[in-house]
């Protein structure tokens, strides 16, 4: 009994266990790429004759042989390892040729080993070839009753081709599979030039090649793995979008990432759809068959397949990260290696195999040559040999007699030099036979004494001599050994090389949150107290003019809606604050809420906003290439304007960017930014005021130059009177007509509209005549072509008052003047129609506008229902208001021109959202008219 402290015993026992797991179980060897269990299976099956050129044998027999001789760890672990080597979706090059049910990519278990059959594949034979030629070391098995190889004399870099994974004690390995042709080509290149850089090798081996295909995203993870042995490779399934029916599309998955269970993947997708984490999927089914994998995911009619696919990539294993950890045993020690280091280790091992094999073959060749020398000598002295044998009483005496005789060495001396034989020593021209030669002579058949057989012995001796010389050259010359290695690798490549299955894409694998957002039009609403939200445009249904509208936003106290606009989810939006700063955000990042929700405080969305409020919001063009040729025109309540390049606001910090310097001394509360719009050289700026005045002037370098800085107050755009202030900014196309043509067109256009609608009054004619007389012009008579040309270029302006009245007027009624004047009348304001103008904006035929009140109600009105009247008319009722309710915001609704069929109908007039009942106001029996010449 020897007392041992528990600390020492635990340390030594655990260390022994850890080393056993690391070396003898969990980690593959860099030389043959196999763990002990795989090595034992392959070697045992070769011993039993289960080779690729023999019939299949029951797997149970192979498992029993392995367990009984080499691997006493239970039949299930052996069979599981054997099954994996037979699975085409697990191994890049299969080492076991299986017949029967060996599982599936769905994770199905293989049939019991008593049912399945197996044999070695041809590629496995390349790992085992020459194992009986002293190419590798052998050691005793677990009970020292058998010898087993410590490594197989692999003819190709199996570790890189088939990869491997395992968890040891305190370490783990996870090596991806690679294309066999590429790996062998890289090995050949490295043999030719060991100084090749990693970049050179990666031109040959661009990355892993998984047996299940897929797409690798990006190359940085591959580079890191090949250089250091560690890296992360993003693998994505191969998917295509197909048309199922006229209005239905489907996402079809044909390849999935490596080691992903197809059945579990489909279950996960179904769970996410039920949990509404992924929306837009109506059905999922597996149509895989013998021809290949095919998972069909049907997409709902109103969903975007690309967005649904991006969501699947984000939330499921259709996109996974393969963590590369290239740890393997090198000289019996675990080592983390890169691509080049692994290939160099294999080359060194394979060179050693060739060297040991050559030495073994040399010994065999020399033994054969030594025996052939004795046969040649016996044939040359056949009569003497026969006499000695006949005189001997027994075989032993005959052998001794042959060995004690001196034989003439004149004939064998050249042969001894040919085969480099040092067994026969020539003394004074005489030589004696060795025991091996004497035995060979005694075993010589009489038929070998014929002339033909004597020639065959001489020819064989010459071949053996040539073979010995070749082997000596291989043993003595490293370039010759490398040449042999190249030739053998070429033979292997011709057998196992296959096309690449995994595509490598330079596209980065990280998905932005934007790619998960369903594209669509949103209505963005901002309140006076700084609350913002977005609501899908389809929530609002078009109503006739004069309707009651519906609730658009929940209010807190006396909060009112001050601004609304519609934009695409993927558009950038510039926010301009009362302090003259600009902020930038994507529409999809704005909080989404129902029509009755209050939204989220802008101060939480833009933390740097501080005590300022957002006064202007500008949706930017979705195509950023258009930004280069666009300018921004700024307008303030004080009537100042300024022009800047849009590119000045391309990079906006999260803390904001100074947009325009404001006059803090103007008015009661200082100046404010009321509008920002995109513009081009030669267009017109139109400013409209709260008290019904407006001015229009052209954008040129003389009238409104481009400012280099963003901190100036700009120049005067309109001269204000009576405490008036600017509240609308619009950019129009320049009028390409003189005053006479403009007056003539307006008269003809009014006449045409009266003919089209019998109830349309002629209130615009008197105003046209008055303005023409004021300008001293006479309306010109236009021919049909000129009228059609001006009609095509005509823009229509909508003016809405806070009393819910509005009118459309031709932009030709607003003459172009110089910048800085007092302007002209825009609309007639009365106690009935409204005391202030809410907005003046250009509108398009066939579009809708939305009006929002301070009570939070909203109505969507087709602009074609608003009559086109004179510039100074009062307009008609657009929105029936209650009590002191006032209109606070007006904005156009732009439809998606690509919508067709049922989709277009839904955009034009969808049903209300679930749980929301719209306010159904009465439809107008006829237009309510007001203005000059009307009864009202």
DSSP letters along 303-349, please?
S-HHHHHHHHHHHSTTEEEEEEE-EEEETTEEEE--HHHHHHHHHHH
Do 378 and 311 share a structural domain?
no
CA 859/CA 545 separation, integer angstroms: 9
Spatial contact of 904 and 301, defined as CB atoms under 8 Å apart: no
Give the residue with greater pLDDT, 911 vs 337.
Answer: 337
Residue 786 lies in a domain: no
Residue located via tokens 């991806």: 176
CA 754/CA 749 separation, integer angstroms: 9
Q: Which of 17, 56, 70, 115 is catalytic?
A: 115
Residue 687 lies in a domain: yes
Range 169-172, long-range pairs (CB < 8 A, 24+ positions): 169/17, 169/18, 169/21, 169/22, 170/18, 171/22, 171/27, 171/327, 171/334, 172/26, 172/325, 172/327
Residue located via tokens 């990355």: 207
Spatial contact of 672 and 637, defined as CB atoms under 8 Å apart: yes
What proportion of the chain, given as a percentage, has pLDDT over 70?
A: 88
Distance of CA 459 to CAs 431, 440, 473, 800, Å?
22, 18, 21, 113
Report the DSSP pairing between strands 215-217 and 503-505. parallel
Residue 929 lies in a domain: no
CA 464/CA 376 separation, integer angstroms: 14
Residue located via tokens 């996402």: 251
The structural domain count of the chain equals 4
CA 278/CA 267 separation, integer angstroms: 13
Q: Is 258 a catalytic residue?
A: no
Q: What is the CATH number of the domain that holds 437?
A: 1.10.268.10
Do 376 and 295 share a structural domain?
no
Do 310 and 371 share a structural domain?
no
CA 172/CA 791 separation, integer angstroms: 77
Do 147 and 294 share a structural domain?
no
Spatial contact of 562 and 582, defined as CB atoms under 8 Å apart: no
Burial class (CB in 10 A: 0-12, 13-18, 19+), 835: middle
pLDDT value, residue 73: 87
Q: What is the pLDDT of residues 446-456, one digit of tens each?
A: 777 777 777 88
Distance of CA 583 to CAs 529, 567, 608, 620, Å?
18, 17, 9, 12
Do 535 and 440 share a structural domain?
no
Burial class (CB in 10 A: 0-12, 13-18, 19+), 876: buried
pTM above 0.75, yes or no: no
pLDDT value, residue 936: 27
Give the residue with greater pLDDT, 385 vs 768.
Answer: 385
CA 424/CA 412 separation, integer angstroms: 9
CA 490/CA 474 separation, integer angstroms: 18
Please give the mean pLDDT across all residues of the chain. 84
HEC string of 37-99 equals HHHHHHHHHHHCCCCCCCCCEEHHHHHHHHHHHCCCCCHHHHHHHHHHHCCCCCCCCCCEEEE
What proportion of the chain, given as a percentage, has pLDDT over 90?
A: 42
Do 726 and 614 share a structural domain?
yes
Within 8 A by CB and 6+ apart from 541, the residues are: 860, 909, 910, 911, 912, 918
Within 8 A by CB and 6+ apart from 824, the residues are: 693, 694, 695, 814, 815, 817, 871
How is residue 71 written in tokens?
A: 């691997």
Q: Of the candidates 862, 918, 852, which has an alpha carbon nearest to the alpha carbon of residue 895?
A: 862
Check whether 759 has a pLDDT greater than 60.
Answer: no
Check whether 914 has a pLDDT greater than 50.
Answer: no
Residue where a domain stops, chosen among 103, 124, 154: 154
Read off the pLDDT band of 94 (50, 70, 90): very high
Within 8 A by CB and 6+ apart from 146, the residues are: 69, 70, 140
The number of angstroms, rounded, from the C-alpha of 803 to the middle of its chain's C-alpha atoms is: 54
Residue located via tokens 């999260």: 654
Do 455 and 311 share a structural domain?
no
- Tell me what the mean pLDDT of segment 410-414 comes to: 77
CA 218/CA 233 separation, integer angstroms: 8
CA 865/CA 867 separation, integer angstroms: 6
CA angle 436, 441, 442 (to 5 degrees): 100
- Tell me what the mean pLDDT of segment 740-757 comes to: 80
Do 594 and 526 share a structural domain?
yes
How is residue 376 written in tokens?
A: 């040649």
Burial class (CB in 10 A: 0-12, 13-18, 19+), 576: buried
Q: What is the CATH number of the domain that holds 62?
A: 3.90.199.10
pLDDT value, residue 908: 30
Residue 830 lies in a domain: yes
HEC string of 713-742 equals CCEECCCCCCCCCEEEEEEECCCCCCHHHH
Return the number of other C-beta atoms located less than 10 Å from residue 934's C-beta.
14
pLDDT value, residue 230: 95
Read off the pLDDT band of 100 (50, 70, 90): very high
Residue 359 lies in a domain: no
pLDDT value, residue 553: 52
CA 843/CA 893 separation, integer angstroms: 9
Do 385 and 288 share a structural domain?
no
Do 252 and 110 share a structural domain?
no
Residue 649 lies in a domain: yes
Do 444 and 370 share a structural domain?
yes
Q: Which of the given ranges, 238-252, 329-343, 440-454, 822-836, has the highest pLDDT on average?
A: 329-343
- Tell me what the mean pLDDT of segment 850-867 comes to: 86
Residue where a domain stops, chosen among 470, 493, 511: 470
Residue where a domain stops, chosen among 285, 317, 349: 317
Which domain, by its residues, includes 604?
Answer: 519-707+714-733+795-908
Residue 355 lies in a domain: no
| Host H or E run for residue 143 | none
Residue 327 lies in a domain: no
- Tell me what the mean pLDDT of segment 37-49 comes to: 96
Helix ranges restricted to H, 99-232: 122-128, 158-162, 180-192, 198-204, 220-228
Q: CA 191, 193, 197, 199: dihedral to nearest 10 degrees?
A: -80
Q: CA 555, 561, 563, 565: dihedral to nearest 10 degrees?
A: 60
Q: Of the candidates 146, 147, 148, 155, which has an alpha carbon nearest to the alpha carbon of residue 128?
A: 155
Spatial contact of 411 and 421, defined as CB atoms under 8 Å apart: no
Helix ranges restricted to H, 450-584: 451-476, 478-496
Burial class (CB in 10 A: 0-12, 13-18, 19+), 657: middle
Check whether 899 has a pLDDT greater than 70.
Answer: no
Least confident of 38-42, 546-550, 601-605, 783-787: 546-550
Do 546 and 655 share a structural domain?
yes
């Amino acid at each position: 009994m020897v007392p041992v402290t528990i600390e020492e015993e635990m340390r030594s026992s655990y260390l022994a266990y850890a080393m056993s797991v690391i070396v003898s179980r969990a980690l593959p060897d860099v030389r043959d790429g196999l763990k002990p269990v795989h090595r034992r299976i392959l070697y045992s099956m070769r011993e039993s004759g289960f080779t690729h050129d023999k019939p299949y044998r029951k797997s149970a027999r192979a498992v029993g042989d392995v367990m009984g001789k080499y691997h006493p760890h239970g039949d299930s672990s052996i069979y599981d390892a054997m099954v994996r080597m037979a699975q085409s979706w697990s191994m890049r090059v299969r080492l076991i040729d299986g017949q029967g049910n060996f599982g599936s990519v769905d994770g199905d278990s293989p049939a019991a080993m008593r049912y399945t059959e197996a044999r070695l594949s041809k590629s496995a034979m390349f790992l085992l070839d020459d194992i009986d030629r002293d190419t590798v070391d052998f050691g005793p098995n677990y009970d020292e009753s058998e010898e087993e190889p410590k490594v197989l004399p692999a003819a190709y870099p199996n570790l890189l081709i088939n990869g491997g994974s395992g968890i040891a004690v305190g370490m783990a390995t996870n090596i991806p599979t690679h294309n066999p042709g590429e790996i062998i080509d890289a090995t050949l290149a490295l043999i030719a030039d060991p100084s090749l850089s990693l970049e050179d090798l990666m031109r040959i081996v661009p990355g892993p090649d998984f047996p299940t295909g897929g797409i690798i995203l990006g190359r940085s993870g591959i580079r890191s793995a090949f250089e250091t042995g560690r890296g992360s490779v993003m693998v994505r399934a191969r998917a295509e979008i197909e048309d199922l029916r006229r209005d239905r599309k489907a996402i079809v998955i044909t390849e999935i990432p490596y080691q992903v269970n197809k059945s579990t993947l489909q279950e996960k997708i179904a769970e996410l759809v039920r949990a509404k984490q992924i929306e837009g999927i109506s059905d999922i089914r597996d149509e895989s068959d013998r021809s290949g994998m095919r998972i069909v995911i049907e997409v709902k009619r109103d969903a975007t397949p690309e967005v649904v696919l991006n969501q699947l990539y984000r939330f499921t294993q259709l996109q996974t990260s393969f963590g590369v950890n290239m740890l393997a045993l090198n000289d019996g020690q675990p080592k983390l290696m890169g691509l080049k280091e692994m290939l160099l280790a294999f080359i060194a091992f394979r060179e050693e195999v060739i060297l040991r094999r050559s030495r073994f073959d040399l010994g065999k060749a020399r033994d054969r040559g030594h025996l052939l020398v004795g046969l040649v000598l016996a044939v040359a002295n056949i009569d003497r040999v026969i006499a000695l044998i006949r005189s001997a009483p027994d075989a032993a005496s005959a052998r001794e007699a042959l060995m004690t005789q001196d034989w003439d060495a004149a004939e064998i001396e050249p042969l001894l030099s040919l085969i480099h034989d040092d067994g026969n020593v020539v003394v004074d021209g005489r030589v004696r036979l060795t025991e091996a030669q004497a035995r060979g002579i005694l075993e010589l058949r009489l038929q070998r004494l014929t002339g033909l057989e004597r020639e065959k012995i001489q020819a064989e001796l010459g071949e053996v001599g040539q073979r010995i010389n070749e082997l000596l050259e291989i043993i003595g010359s490293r370039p010759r050994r490398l040449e042999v290695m190249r030739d053998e690798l070429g033979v292997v490549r011709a057998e196992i090389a296959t096309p690449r299955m995994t595509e490598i894409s330079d596209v980065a694998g990280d998905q932005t949150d934007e790619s998960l957002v369903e594209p669509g039009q949103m209505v963005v609403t901002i309140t006076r107290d700084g609350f913002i939200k977005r609501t899908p445009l389809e929530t609002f249904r078009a109503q006739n003019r004069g309707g009651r509208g519906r609730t658009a936003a929940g209010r807190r106290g006396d909060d009112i809606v001050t601004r609304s606009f519609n934009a695409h989810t993927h558009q950038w939006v510039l926010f301009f604050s009362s302090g003259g700063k600009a902020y930038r955000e994507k529409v999809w990042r704005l909080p989404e809420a129902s029509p009755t929700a209050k939204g989220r405080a802008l101060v939480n969305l833009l933390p740097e906003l501080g005590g300022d409020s957002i006064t202007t919001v500008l949706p930017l063009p979705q195509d950023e290439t258009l930004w280069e040729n666009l300018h921004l025109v700024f307008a303030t309540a004080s009537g100042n304007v300024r022009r800047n390049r849009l590119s000045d606001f391309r990079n906006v910090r999260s803390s904001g960017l100074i947009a325009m310097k404001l006059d803090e001394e103007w008015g009661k509360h200082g100046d404010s930014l009321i509008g920002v719009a995109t513009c081009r050289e030669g267009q017109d700026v139109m400013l409209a005021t709260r008290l019904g005045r407006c001015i229009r002037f052209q954008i040129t370098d003389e009238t409104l130059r481009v400012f280099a800085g963003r901190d100036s107050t700009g120049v005067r755009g309109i001269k204000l009177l009576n405490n008036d202030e600017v509240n609308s900014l619009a950019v129009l196309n320049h009028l390409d007509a003189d005053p006479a043509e403009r007056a003539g067109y307006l008269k003809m256009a009014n006449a045409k509209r009266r003919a089209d609608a019998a109830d349309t009054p002629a209130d615009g004619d008197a105003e046209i005549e008055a303005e023409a007389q004021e300008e001293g012009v006479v309306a010109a008579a236009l021919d049909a072509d000129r009228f059609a040309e001006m009609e095509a270029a005509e823009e229509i302006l909508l003016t809405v008052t806070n009393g819910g009245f509005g009118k459309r007027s031709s932009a030709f009624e607003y003459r172009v003047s110089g910048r800085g004047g007092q302007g002209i009348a825009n609309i007639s304001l009365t106690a009935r129609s409204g005391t202030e103008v809410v907005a003046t904006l250009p509108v398009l035929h066939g579009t809708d506008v939305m009006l929002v009140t301070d009570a939070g109600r909203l109505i969507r009105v087709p602009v074609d229902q608003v009559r086109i009247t004179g510039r100074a008319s009062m307009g008609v009722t657009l929105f029936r208001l209650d009590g002191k309710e006032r209109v606070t915001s007006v904005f156009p609704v732009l439809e998606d021109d690509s919508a067709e069929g049922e989709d277009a109908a839904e955009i034009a007039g969808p049903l209300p959202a679930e749980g929301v009942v719209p306010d159904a106001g009465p439809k107008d029996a006829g237009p309510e008219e007001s203005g000059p010449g009307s009864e009202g």
